[in-house]
Amino acid sequence: MGSGGSSAKDKETKQAEITKVKDDKHHSGGNTFLLLGTMGVGKSTIAKQMAISFGDGFSEGDRSQNRQAIVKNIVSSTMTVIKDAADDTFPDDVYTHMDAIAENNDAASPDDMALLREALLAIWKDEAFIKAFDSFQPKTYSHELEYNASCWFKTKLSEVLEDNYSPKNEDIVKCRSMTTAVSDTTFIYNEKEFLLRDVGGQVQYRNQWKEAFAGAQVVLYIVSLDDFHKQSTKEKEDGTDSTSNRLIESRTLFKDIVNSDTMGSVPYVLIFNKTDLFQESLKTKPLSVCPIFSKADGQRESESFEEYTSRCQRYIRTYFSKVVDEKCGKEQKNIHGSQDNIVSVNSYFTCATDTELFKAVMEKSLLAIWKLMETRLTKAGF
């Protein structure tokens, strides 16, 4: 057989790839929802929940990939906790098992996995390690993701490390990993197919916005309520570090996107995520630790904790909604502007790891979006 020829099978494969690209281009220009937000706000968790609640769920391949990610979460957080602790915090056996984990980390074969399982289970039985894990404070975003996942899986470690383990939906939702590339999730609403596109790390880079945002009809912008007390650290050109509040960073990115030429007048849905963590944090940290809310009252004598939590949520929602209000004001002052071009925003509060709550919130959100899209089509003469 000549090396320069193409078989019929090769031609069929090539044609299938071309058809898929055409379909993807057509789809991306149709009913596409953009999933945007800063790092760590729960975008990937929301994409998973959309697949569970409104899509086809997860294939066996998806579950296998997530199983690998779960093991990686556990391995990485275990190693980080041990390395972060002072020397001689643990008995010699723990350090010996840590070396075994490093040697068999890839778990490329059943034998590797068996050695990895043995080492992990031994470490997680050590009282000194459990104490260190429970008091661990992640120093980086990636460590925070891995640690939060391991907090969920530590009670079912033996099950997770079994060869025949297949993650349940709840396990997949709890698994954590950074999204660095574009990730698409298909879902159905009102018997119509939509594409939820998470552009991952690309949202941080303006020069990629035009390509990444192309064809979007709706933006779901995710905000982590619990970011009000968290800081991110970046290295400056002079080699020193600068810190900034994560919630303020999120609002800055939202403002940049809303006012960009790329997004035009698409409707926005603000999803305020992590209501559970927000409520827990407010028990020990007032909202005023966030610089933008430095003058906000703590819990008043006349209000319950639930009322205080709701008041703080309203402050944050208003802080973000003003971005759209300000843009609308500018558009209305423009004599060439049209009401149809003015951006709109709806907002909702949820906990993305709570499947039932998330589904109820998203049903309300999708209903509002659906009505808005119908209105716009009617005005356009369709």
List, as one string, the DSSP characters of 217-272: EEEEEEEEGGGGG-EEEEE-TTS-EEEEEHHHHHHHHHHHHHTSTTTTT--EEEEE
| The residue to which tokens 């990686």 are assigned | 72
pLDDT(133) > 90: yes
User: What is the average pLDDT across 238-255?
Assistant: 88
pLDDT reported for residue 15: 40
At 185, phi and psi to the nearest 5?
-130, 130
Sort strands 241-245 and 231-235 into parallel, antiparallel or unpaired.
antiparallel
Chain segment 325-362, per-residue pLDDT in tens: 887 766 555 544 444 555 678 999 999 999 999 999 99
pLDDT(111) > 60: yes
Decide: helix, strand or coil at residue 32: strand
CA-wise closest residue to 42 among 260, 322, 246: 246
Quick one: what percent of the chain has pLDDT higher than 90?
Answer: 56
Chain segment 184-233, per-residue pLDDT in tens: 999 999 888 999 999 887 787 778 888 888 888 899 999 999 999 998 87
pLDDT(18) > 50: no
User: Rounded CA gap, 274 and 292, in Å?
Assistant: 20
- Confidence class for position 239, pLDDT limits 50, 70, 90: low
Report which DSSP code applies to 117: H
- CATH fold of 215-374, please? Rossmann fold (3.40.50)
pLDDT reported for residue 376: 63
Cβ atoms of 123 and 97 within 8 Å: the answer is yes
pLDDT reported for residue 108: 64
- CATH fold of 61-174, please? GI Alpha 1, domain 2-like (1.10.400)
Q: Mean pLDDT for the chain? A: 84
β-partners of residue 34 are 197, 219
User: Rounded CA gap, 116 and 110, in Å?
Assistant: 10
| Domain locations in the chain as residue ranges | 61-174, 215-374
Chain segment 292-330, per-residue pLDDT in tens: 999 999 999 999 999 999 999 999 999 999 998 887 766
CB under 8 Å to 258, separation ≥6 — which residues? 268, 323, 324, 327, 343
Cβ atoms of 298 and 252 within 8 Å: the answer is no
pLDDT(14) > 60: no
